[in-house]
Structure 1
Amino acid sequence: MITIGQFFLLLTLCLSFQTLMPPQLRSTSVHAFFFNACLLAVVAFSSQQVTAQQEKPQIDSQLDWARWRGQNGAGRWQAPTNLQLDWSTQKPELLWSQPVGASYSGITVVGNQVFTMDRQVNGQTPEDALAGNERVICLDRNTGKQLWQYSYAAHYKGLDYNKGPRVTPTVHQGRVYTLGAVGHLTCLDALTGQKIWQRDLVSEEKAKLPTWGYSASPLVINDSELIIHAALQPNGCFAAFDCQSGKELWRSGDDPAGYTAPILIRQNGHKQLIGWTPKHVLGMSPVNGEIQWKIPYDVTYGVAIATPIFEQGHVLVCGYWEGSKLIKLSDNLKQATLVWEENEFLRGLMSQPLFRDGFVYLLDKQYGIVCFNLITGKVAWTDKNQLTPRGRNPQATLVWIGDTDRAICLNADGELVVTSLTPMGYKEISRHAVVDFTWAHPAYSGDLIFARDDEKLVCFRIPTEVSHSK
């Protein structure tokens, strides 16, 4: 592509052309012809360069999985309609595998780039076994080749489950935002990995680290504000930072930090941030963080993990010890009322529940997948631990496939499972092992699936149905 400097150099040569011609020709049609020809050449050359740049093939933005839970955080994979979901004859194809360090961090995909985080244990000694670096990694979508990495020191003293970062990187308008396990809030250039800004929330803002480290992925709102859940001190359970500079804009709430990312909801022209802390479920103004309502929910060990769901004017949170609660919001989002609570069958932990056509599908700690009516809380069925084995910390990432009743799940054993989830029951369609034990959330883009464990990040292609049209 022609640069601005090159353009003006050529233009200057054109304007100087008359000084190079014999005096007797400077005012003739010959001079005009050559001068105009030069200008046309410059414009044409510049246009060709710009056109070539614009026509460079790009990945469809609809295929991006740019944040926690994909587009709009909805947990919905806009997959090709011709995917072959029955893998009895043709399995998903491994395209590449790239070594990575240990981590619980999920994966994001934007264009030709794949992002995640891990931990490098260099620098550890017998006297200091918790030293090391956190790392943001960018890989090539097509080959798995590492494009760049950004690393910084992160000491895990006092951190339980200390193998690596937890959050899924958030990619927005050419920048990557991450929050490390011990409070490093970082903004990087997505193309180069260069640091734009970084805040150490523990040392700078006296943020109080939760037992298992920061796990809530940053949320971008209004294309300009970064919302985090990090318990800055004082009165900063939630906080907003300027995306461009990293400057704090507001902070809100004095609850301790939990592990769940806030969500932005809309109803009747009103917007609100929903947060779940170890003490409350609450609604905040996205303008200044003012708390507009809150419902008490005292969470054992502070394990408020799964992101709240907002459907049909109701907020649903699903906890491990105290179970699930449904909260009805007023039309203007200023009042909230507890509708029901249940702690026998509806006890989620890390797994994000799904909602469709009035019913919720939740991984319960004892009964496996449970289907229940959102408004009444009445249980329709359980899968009796078919999707994933019963365990102390059951985990499976649940994602809808398009607008169908099909869901794709990566369980803790690293098995990719395609199921049908309806109020009538659970039906397994396919199952295929893609990684080893993992709690990290995968990413989905086009016909590709990106998953990871503590040693590798892999890319699989899902088979497509062959057209038999004549």
Structure 2
Amino acid sequence: MLCQLLLLFLLAAVAAADWPQWRGPQRDGQIANFSAPATWPDSLQLQWRTPVGRGDASPVVSGGHIFVHTRRDEEEYVSALDLAEGRLLWQDSYGDVPYQWATHHADERGKGPFATPALADGVLYTYGVTQVLSAYEAASGQLLWRHRLNQSLPFGTSASPIAVDGRVIVHIGDGKVGPLTAFDGRSGKTVWTWDADGPSYSSPIIGTWDGTRQLVLLTFQHCIALNPATGELLWQIPFSHPWEENIPTPLRSGDNLILTAMERGTLAVRPTRTDSGWVAETVWHNPDLWMYTNSPVLHGDLLYAFSTQRKGQFFCLDARTGKTLWTTQGRQGDYTSLLSAAEVLFSLGNDATLSIIEPSATAWKTLAQYQVADSPTWAHPVVLDDRLLIKDATDLSLWTLPTGP
């Protein structure tokens, strides 16, 4: 009991070294406390590796504990592990999660889960590939509630839940129809729904514009902003995808929102309050470069991204104007996860190659590369001070990162 009370205390507040949700504390891929070394070593030191199951959901971390959502055969597992040693603390599993691939292309990614859990106020939320939404006491693993929403997007649910003010918000449905829904975090009761457009594969973010908090996300055919407390629609703009697959997470850049989709280019819109309500106007549009399944990161006024164009290429835009600053030659892979620290960028390809990149407005400059797994790495990595968490096809591993003064 004493250990559980201590863990609950540690989980109650998000520390600087915590990673409680998709793409980090602010859902933007920014690393708060990492100081790069003057020279990068030839290899990284592996601290531990442990099997956890299949799936591409990223781990989340709080209070020195890791939470990961995976699949084994026809069951989904939710596990808590000790960060220092990889020791299992608690685990839960549930069945009845049948999932059939929509096309033969989807079988390369497996049967999920794909959505990264969210951790807030001592409660862990997971969202399974077939839209099984669960809430746990993070300290003990006690199940608070579970909703089997029994819908599935053609390629499985991948939009990560977001926890806001004691509620968890997810988009339910089959792609073209379905409500965006806020549930009470403790009871699981429905607080509000918004039911005008179906879900996408993109995850929502939270931001404040002109004193108004806004939940921003890409739906099946729009970019929308809602009041997270009430579900009231504040503004929306058309944002459809030729393949019906809005995937990248919106990214805030100053007062702008960076949006992108395959064959739509990359653009910045600015939410503005007017006498007649909220509008979102286009600030710039770069029609030549776009992202498909990848989400961008910022480093100052530079926007870094990876596109499936030319069989995989990195590019950099001026985030203020949308001007293309550089692109790489191409043929650089299928996918990469990008994170941004004060002095470097981290790029993890699905081939398990971790690249350390020097931020530059003139070229892609690789400082070091490391092989961090023997199987594909579609899940985003987690960087916590001098530690690196990697989820590969079946295992979770912890590595030590070199740091500067």
Q: TM-score, normalised by structure 1?
A: 0.77
Would you say the 8 A contact 2:30–2:297 is kept in 1?
A: no
Match of 1:338 in 2: 282
By how many angstroms is 1:118 displaced?
1.1
Match of residue 347, structure 1, among 290, 296, 307: 290
* 1:35-93 per-position Cα deviation (integer Å, ceiling 9, x unaligned): xxxxxxxxxxxxxxx9x99999x998111111111112131122343x4363345x211
Assess, with a 3 A threshold, how the Cα gap between structure 1 residues 292 and 454 changes in structure 2: closer, same or farther: same
- Distance in 2 between the 1:390 and 1:54 partners? 43
Q: Check if 1:107 corresponds to 2:59.
A: yes
When Rg is computed on C-alpha atoms for both structures, the one with the higher figure is: 1
User: Secondary structure of 1:432's partner?
Assistant: strand
1:369 maps to 2:308: no
Among 2, 17, 28, the alignment partner of 1:74 is 28
Q: Following superposition of structure 1 onto structure 2, how do residues 119-138 of structure 1 map, counting pairs within 5 Å?
A: 119-121=71-73, 132-138=74-80
Match of 1:276 among 204, 218, 225: 218
Pair 251,463 (structure 1): closer, same or farther in 2 beyond 3 Å: same
How far residue 290 of structure 1 moved from its aligned partner, in angstroms, is: 1.7
Q: Which residue of 2 aligns with 1:189?
A: 137
Give the whole-Å Cα distance in 2 for the aligned partners of 1:194 and 1:455.
25
CA distance in structure 2 between the partners assigned to 1:329 and 1:262 by the alignment: 16
* Aligned: 1:316 with 2:270: no
In structure 2, the residue matched to 1:39 is none
Report if aligned partners of 1:140, 1:147 keep a CA contact under 8 Å in 2.
Answer: yes
Q: Tell me, what secondary structure is at the counterpart of 2:147?
A: strand
Would the aligned equivalents of 2:217 and 2:223 in 1 still touch at CA under 8 Å? yes
Shift of 1:340: 4.0
CA distance in 1, matches of 2:99, 2:400: 40
Equivalent runs, 1:47-446 vs 2, <5 Å: 61-81=15-35, 83-84=36-37, 86-89=39-42, 91-121=43-73, 132-160=74-102, 161=106, 162-202=110-150, 208-222=151-165, 224-231=166-173, 236-331=178-273, 334-344=278-288, 346-366=289-309, 368-385=313-330, 389-391=331-333, 394-401=334-341, 403-404=342-343, 406-435=344-373, 436-446=375-385
> In 2, distance between residues paired with 1:159 and 1:179?
18
Q: Which amino acid aligns with 2:16?
A: Q
Secondary structure of 2:304's aligned partner: strand
Q: Verify the 8 A CA contact 2:178 2:199 in the aligned structure 1.
A: no
Separation of aligned partners in 1, 2:284 and 2:210: 24
Kindly provide the amino acid, as one letter, of the partner of residue 77 in structure 1: I
Whether the 8 Å CA contact 1:231–1:255 is kept in 2: the answer is no
Give 1:31's aligned residue: none
Structure with higher strand content: 2
Which residue of 450, 457, 460 corresponds with 2:389? 450
Paired residues in the alignment total: 391
| Identity percentage of aligned residues | 27
Q: RMSD of the TM alignment (CA)?
A: 2.7
Higher relative contact order (CA 8 A, sep 6+): 2
Determine which structure has the larger helix proportion and give its number: 1
Distance 1:97 1:282, change over 3 A: same
Following TM superposition, by how much is the alpha carbon of 1:163 offset from its aligned partner in structure 2, in angstroms? 2.5
CA distance in 2, matches of 1:281, 1:409: 27
Runs of at least 5 residues in structure 2 that lack an aligned partner in the other structure? none
Structure 1 unaligned segments of length 5 or more: list them.
3-49, 122-131, 203-207
* Deviation sequence 1:412-458 (CA, Å, 0-9, x none): 11111110122222211111010121211111212110101112111
Question: Residue 236 of structure 1: CA displacement?
Answer: 4.4
Q: Secondary structure at the match of 1:371?
A: strand
Change (3 A) 1:421 1:230: farther
CA contact (8 A) 2:296 2:338 kept: yes
SS where residue 267 of structure 2 aligns?
A: strand
